[in-house]
Every structure is written in structure tokens, then in C-alpha cells.
Amino acid sequence: MGDEGESSPWKSTTGKASQKKTYQPAGFEPRRKTGLEEVNPRVREIQPPKGDMLLRRAEEIRAELQQGVKKPYKEVIDISQDDFHSAGMKPFSFVRQVIAACLHPELLHSGKLPADVCQRAQRLLKECDGDSVGSYSDSCGIPHVQRTVAEFITRRDGGLPSFPKDIFISSGSQRALMVVLRLLAQGEGMSQTGVLTPVPTCYTFPMVLTEVGAVMVPYQLCEEQGWALQVDELRRVLQASRGHCDPRVLYVINPGNPTGHVQSRKSIEDVIRLAAEERLFLLANEVYQDTVHGEGVEFVSYKRVLFEMGPQYSDTVQLASFNSISNGIGEGGLRAGYVELLNIDPAVALFAEMLLCTDICAPVTGQIALAIMADPPWPGDPSYGQYAEEVQASQETLIRNVRRVEEVLSALPGVSCQPAMGGVNVFPRLYLPAGAVEQAKEAGVEADQLYCKRLLEEVGLCVGPGCESGQREGIHHMRLHVKVPAEVMEEALGRLRTFHLRFMSEFS
């Protein structure tokens, strides 16, 4: 054996020659573990959603129930997240049949699938390299899927043309949103890009802004007017933010999440005029466009309004609009969405494509689902009857649950609820007793966090605390996901009513 002295690259991990050795080249110094010092500063700044604690506790309670721990309930009901299937909603048969045939082409000849399912699967497989969903796709998406999405947008917007070159497919709308924000985020201090963001907002968005290096500039939606977006509020925060950052981006969610508001055409026009006047880049999150349920309310896209306002706006205002399959057809786990970029400099669009190339392309199965969402069965197709029936049943369940939630909550003391017009959440306000607020302060949490934690512990119902979506100081809310089976909703409301009355009585 050779010498194991200082000149040898072999070092004993224990100081004894008989023990296991590791290889160290001469002059090699082991890297010291420094914990958070090695983490990207932006990552260190990311704050986890305040509802994460509740989700972790919900999992612990489920485990306790399985181990036989006695509780006043037999199972946890989680209506805190926009996850249709985990709550018990069934997938649309046509979507799953086409995906199954694409994954297992032998089914095409089994005689077990409708003819239009087989035709659709064969067509989609031909668009995949090697006729297989196991192959990679172009970074911006399968060209056929881009064309299908463009055709869908054209139909949706009354014939206003959409072009495949402007469509970028991603693994969900949030990934597309991150790519666009990475293009726009720049500078430090007073020159750092500011993004005007609605409050309340989707609880993951502040984390996205931190990760890309942008500053959140919150603007308050008006709860007293049904969570309306007010242009005067936008002007106020624009003026107040200058000197602290460079507000260059305006983010809107329509229909709203978690508020359920739906912007009128006039409201959208006012926002577009402001964007043109202030040279703001518009980000329109429109993933809930197929979940509008208010009487007499309709979804109108930002793109359609922009172009109907004429060349003064349609040729100048930069717009990125987002959609995904997570709410369109309820297939969030398949991971696919798109962004359409308008009035973007071609060089900037090229960088968007380059950024998408550095990311993993959207799963091909997700892209297939996206193509089906954009081009579902049509009247006369063998699968149309069942598909239309399933879509109608899903929408009727959503409408029933929204109305039922509003009815039950409005009858509870210390709760008010603005009517939801769209989306899949209800965001009621909680007027909590001073004693509860003081107890929460002593515990170092928000009062609605305390409320939601006790709701979970005492009756096994998990909802989202309003504080993770943003709200005015001293005001409290909770977020309820309502696209769940009717019987689940009824059980959840029963538990909520029992707990709420007991909670309010305790602090009265």
C-alpha cells in the first residue's frame, strides 16, 4: 500500500487507516457548510403562505385519525385550495379517454372508446415526435396545440384574430407568469421594477415576485363595492410608489381570486386607458374565465376590449394574458397553460422563448388536455352529449355551492359575504371579538389564522386564512373553495356553523 501521509490524496474519515477513506485531491479544502449563507438572497426573502401551517397540521390530523386517535370527527375536509379532484369532483370523461388512448395506443383498436376519442388521439399522436407522448416537445409547446389555442381565442373574442406565434405553452399559468416577470424585472432600489398587485390576491403571487426580483405594489380592491377595481386607487398607489421603486407593471386577476369579482367592460376600459397613459405593461390573469356564474354577468377578455378600443390602444398597450387547464377543465395536476403576448417587441419575444427553453417544457399529457380545453367535442360528435352533460353538471354544482355558502354565512353573526360572480372561491369577512383578536396577538398570529386553526382542530375543516391573501390591517377573512361535491359542501357548512357559533359565544 502507498503512503497515506500528507502527500496522499486519500484521507481517513475517522483518523484510522482501517476505516473508510474518501478521495481528496492535493490542495483540496472541503467546503464549509454555512447554512442560509449559501442560499440565494432572493430565496431567503420568500415567505411561505400563512396557510401552509394549517395544511401540514391537516396532514398530521389525518395520520392521527388513521392511528385511531379519537376526535369529534372521522375525517378532515379540506376546502382551502383550488383542487377540484382532491375535493371529490370527477374529471371530464372525454379528456381522460383521449389521454388514456395517447398513453396506451393499443386502446385505439380495443373498441372500448368512442370514434371521436380515437380520431382525436390519433391526430394528437401524429403531432408528437415518434408518435409518442414520451417525446419532448418544442420549448414553446407543440405547434398544433399553439394553433388550437389561437383558434380558441379567436372564437372566444368574436373573431378577433389570434396567432400561434404569440402563444407560448408552459407548465401552468404561474410558470408562464414567472417567465414574463423575469423579462420585466430589473434594477435595484428606486429603479427596481414595481408590480401593481390587487389585494386580496392569489397567495402564491408575492412569492413569485420575490423570486424574480420585483417589488409588490399593492392596490386595494373595494370590498364594499363587490371587490371592485378602482382606477383612483391605482393612481394613488402609482404616485405613492414612485421614489421607492419603478412601477412598470399592472397585474389584474379577472375573474378575481379569491374575491370572485368579475370586471365589467367599462372597468377594463378604464384600466387600459390608465395603462396607456402611464406606459404600464398589463398582465391579465384570466384562468377563471370559464367559471363565471353571476346572473347577468359575462367574462370579456382584456384582449378583446383592448382591440375594440381602437388602434390608439390596440397598437400600443403591451399585454400578456394567461389561462390554464387547472380551472378551465379542472386538470391542475396535468400542468399546462398558456400566455398570449401582444404588442411585444420581437426581440423581447425571442428572449421569452429563450427563457422557456431553460425551463422544462410543459408535459405532453398536459398539452393534450390544453388542446381539448381549447377544442372540446362539438354538437354532432359522438362524445358531445356526455361532455356537455358533465360540463353543465360541474357548473351547476359550482353555482349551487356559491349560493348555498352565501346563504349560510349571511345568517351567521359576525360574518358578511360579498356576492361572488366568478371563480371557485368565496371570501367572507369575519368580524371577530376583541378577545379573540387579543388572544391571537399574544400567540403571534393573525386573528383569522387563529380562527382557522381552531376550526381545523375542533371540527376537522380546513379553510384558508384571509391574511395569506392580503387584507387591510385589522380586517379579517377566510377563503373557501366551493367547487366541491354538494354533499361535501353541506357537511363543511354544517361544521363551520357549529364551530363559528361556539367560537363567537366563547369570546362574547
pLDDT tens-digit series, residues 151-197: 999 999 999 999 999 999 998 888 889 989 999 999 999 999 999 99
Residue 19 has pLDDT above 90, yes or no: no
Q: Which CATH superfamily is domain 52-88+387-506 in?
A: Aspartate Aminotransferase, domain 1 (3.90.1150.10)
Locus of grid cell 401582444: 342
Cβ(120)–Cβ(114) below 8 Å: no
Rounded to an integer, the average pLDDT of 396-423 is 96
In the predicted structure, residue 15 carries a pLDDT above the cut 70: no
Q: In angstroms, rounded to a whole number, what is the distance separating the alpha carbons of residues 390 and 377?
A: 12
Burial of 458 by CB count in 10 Å (0-12 exposed, 13-18 middle, 19+ buried)? Answer: middle
- Whether the link from the prior residue into 377 is cis, omega within 30° of 0, is no
User: How far apart are alpha carbons 153 and 146 in whole angstroms?
Assistant: 11
CB 286 within 8 A of CB 254: yes
Say whether pLDDT at 478 is over 90.
Answer: yes
- 273 burial type by CB count under 10 A (0-12 exposed, 13-18 middle, 19+ buried): middle
What pLDDT shows up at residue 18? 38
Whether 357 shows a pLDDT value over 70: the answer reads: no
Which pLDDT value is given to residue 356? 66
Percent of the chain residues topping a pLDDT of 70: 89
Rounded Cα gap, residues 54 and 394, in angstroms: 28
Averaged over 471-487, what is the pLDDT?
A: 95
HSE, CB side, 13 Å, CA atoms: give it for residue 183.
23
208-225: pLDDT as tens digits: 999 899 999 999 999 999
Return d(Cα 326, Cα 331) in angstroms, integer.
Answer: 5
Kindly list the distances between the CA atom of residue 341 and the CA atoms of 164, 249, 311, in Å, as whole numbers in the listed order.
10, 14, 17
For the segment 279-299, the average pLDDT, to the nearest whole number, is 95
What pLDDT does 441 receive? 94
Bridge partners for 193 per DSSP: 246
pLDDT value of residue 328: 84
Given a cut of 70, is residue 33 above it in pLDDT? no
pLDDT of residue 348: 75
Q: Is the pLDDT of residue 3 over 60?
A: no
**DSSP state letters, 384-414:** HHHHHHHHHHHHHHHHHHHHHHHHHHHTSTT
CA angle, corner 249, sides to 243 and 253, nearest 5?
Answer: 130
Sequence spans of domains, the chain = 52-88+387-506, 136-374
User: Is the pLDDT at 24 greater than 70, yes or no?
Assistant: no
pLDDT for residue 359: 63
Contact 461, 491 (CB under 8 A): no
**What's the whole-number mean pLDDT along residues 432-457?**
95
Taking the model in full, what pTM does it have?
0.88
- Other beta carbons less than 10 A from residue 498's beta carbon: 14
Q: What value does the mean pLDDT take over residues 395-403?
A: 96
CA nearest 461: which of 505, 427, 497?
497
Among 462, 485, 325, residue whose Cα is nearest residue 398: 485
pLDDT at 355: 74
What pLDDT is attached to residue 38? Answer: 56
pLDDT at 391: 96
Residue 11 has pLDDT above 60, yes or no: no
pLDDT at position 21: 40
How confident is the model at residue 49, as a pLDDT?
A: 61
**Residue 120: pLDDT above 60?**
yes
Q: What is the mean pLDDT of the chain?
A: 89
Q: With 80 as the cut, is the pLDDT of residue 40 above it?
A: no
- The yes-or-no verdict on residue 471 having pLDDT over 60 is yes
- Amino acid in the structure at residue 354: M
**What is the rounded average pLDDT of the residues 274-292?**
97
In the three-class reduction of DSSP (H, G, I as helix; E, B as strand; rest coil), residue 41 is classed as helix
Strand (E) or helix (H) holding 272:
helix 265-278
Domain 136-374, CATH class in plain words: alpha beta
Inform me whether the pLDDT recorded for 28 exceeds 90: no
User: Looking at the predicted structure, is the pLDDT value of residue 67 above 60?
Assistant: yes
Instruction: State the pLDDT at residue 51.
Output: 65
Distance CA 108, CA 102 (A): 9
Task: Return the pLDDT at 339.
Answer: 94
pLDDT on residue 445: 93
Confidence of residue 327 (pLDDT cuts 50, 70, 90): confident
Percentage above 90 pLDDT, the chain: 78
